[in-house]
Amino acid sequence: MLPWTLLGRAPIPGSAERLVLWQRGDEFSIRISGYVSELMNSRVHGSEEALATEACALLRGAASARVLVGGLGMGFTLAAALRTLGDAAQVTVAELVPEVVAWNQGPLGEAAGRPLEDGRVSVQIRDVAELIRAAQASYDAVLLDVDNGPQGMTHTENHWLYTPAGLAAARRALRPGGVLAVWSATREEAFTRRLTAAGYAVQVQTVRARTGADGRGRGARHTIWLARV
Ligand SMILES: C[S@@+](CC[C@H](N)C(=O)[O-])C[C@H]1O[C@@H](n2cnc3c(N)ncnc32)[C@H](O)[C@@H]1O
């Protein structure tokens, strides 16, 4: 078996931990120092893609939609959004860790088909919360996969995104009919209730981590909230 090769380490702003990128053949793994489990593996991206495809499928004007993706990770959510949206769409990606953007501009970019090179994409090396706070009816969809879900893991300040204040700000950032889509490793009924209390019409989906050769879902069960304004 091929050995894993260390490609890079990156400090996480506001955290004592680091993101660490490994490669083994055409497989990539991003881990958080101090945690045993992976944050992401390039062979497992079914639910990251579903976050985008399920949210964009709800948009009436998907051909020319404005979409905010936070964060970049390995680019699978971004690539799926670009496949679903039309030529006139504009996608802003907010990524907290500059090295993650650099990794996607390097060898890691192959994993999701180099979505950063798509002319519809602009990248901001910023906390997605800043973009949400600054926006007023700016986006048709906000796709959030910045952590392990509402319980967090990489960046404790992400907690705000899932609070009533964060959900109200996301609602202001969205246009009428817009969708806030949130990825999580676990299902959390309290978060569903918080979304409903914040005035969203909420669907909760369970999505498998990957698709087997027979086309059936395999691996862990992840949760996606689709919350419409
Ligand atoms: C689990 S990965 C995202 C995976 C991505 N959905 C994909 O398809 O590859 C989480 C990413 O969010 C970034 N991140 C964490 N907190 C963030 C924040 N507040 N704003 C922007 N990016 C953030 C992390 O650095 C990491 O790149």
CATH of the domain at 146: 3.40.50.150
Looking at the domain assignment, is residue 65 inside a domain? yes
Q: Is residue 76 in contact with ligand 1, taking CB distance under 6 Å? A: yes
Residue 49 to residues 61, 82, 189, 222, Cα–Cα distance (Å): 20, 10, 23, 12
Ligand 1: centre distance to CA 93 (Å)? 10
Q: What is the pLDDT of residue 212?
A: 81
User: Residue whose CA is closest, atom 27 of ligand 1?
Assistant: 73
Q: Is residue 81 in contact with ligand 1, taking CB distance under 6 Å? A: no
How many Å apart are CA 223 and CA 61, to the nearest integer?
25
Looking at the domain assignment, is residue 127 inside a domain? yes
Task: Out of 9, 31, 53, 97, give the residue to mutate to test ligand 1, the one with the largest number of ligand atoms within 8 Å of its CB.
Answer: 97
How many Å apart are CA 117 and CA 36, to the nearest integer?
32
User: Residue whose CA is closest, atom 5 of ligand 1?
Assistant: 73
Task: Out of 19, 67, 155, 182, give the residue to mutate to test ligand 1, the one with the largest number of ligand atoms within 8 Å of its CB.
Answer: 155
Q: Are strands 18-24 and 5-11 parallel, antiparallel or unpaired?
A: antiparallel
How many Å apart are CA 183 and CA 81, to the nearest integer?
14
Q: Are strands 217-228 and 201-211 parallel, antiparallel or unpaired?
A: antiparallel
Looking at the domain assignment, is residue 13 inside a domain? no
- Single out the residue of 88, 69, 64 nearest to residue 181, CA to CA: 69
Pull the structure tokens for residue 154: 């990489």
Looking at the domain assignment, is residue 144 inside a domain? yes
Q: What is the pLDDT of residue 154?
A: 59
Cβ atoms of 165 and 133 within 8 Å: the answer is no
Looking at the domain assignment, is residue 130 inside a domain? yes
Looking at the domain assignment, is residue 207 inside a domain? yes
Residue 149: pLDDT band with limits 50, 70, 90: confident
User: What does pTM read for this prediction?
Assistant: 0.96
Cβ atoms of 123 and 101 within 8 Å: the answer is yes
Q: Is residue 129 in contact with ligand 1, taking CB distance under 6 Å? A: yes
Q: What is the pLDDT of residue 155?
A: 64
Q: What is the pLDDT of residue 215?
A: 81
Residue 56 to residues 67, 99, 119, 167, 194, Cα–Cα distance (Å): 9, 28, 19, 19, 22
Task: Out of 17, 43, 154, give the residue to mutate to test ligand 1, the one with the largest number of ligand atoms within 8 Å of its CB.
Answer: 154
147/9: higher pLDDT: 9
Residue 89 to residues 48, 73, 141, 221, Cα–Cα distance (Å): 20, 21, 11, 30
In the predicted structure, residue 168 carries a pLDDT above the cut 70: yes
In the predicted structure, residue 153 carries a pLDDT above the cut 60: no
Q: Is residue 96 in contact with ligand 1, taking CB distance under 6 Å? A: yes
Q: Is residue 116 in contact with ligand 1, taking CB distance under 6 Å? A: no
Give the number of domains in the chain.
1
Looking at the domain assignment, is residue 9 inside a domain? no
Looking at the domain assignment, is residue 11 inside a domain? no
Containing structural domain, residue 123:
45-228
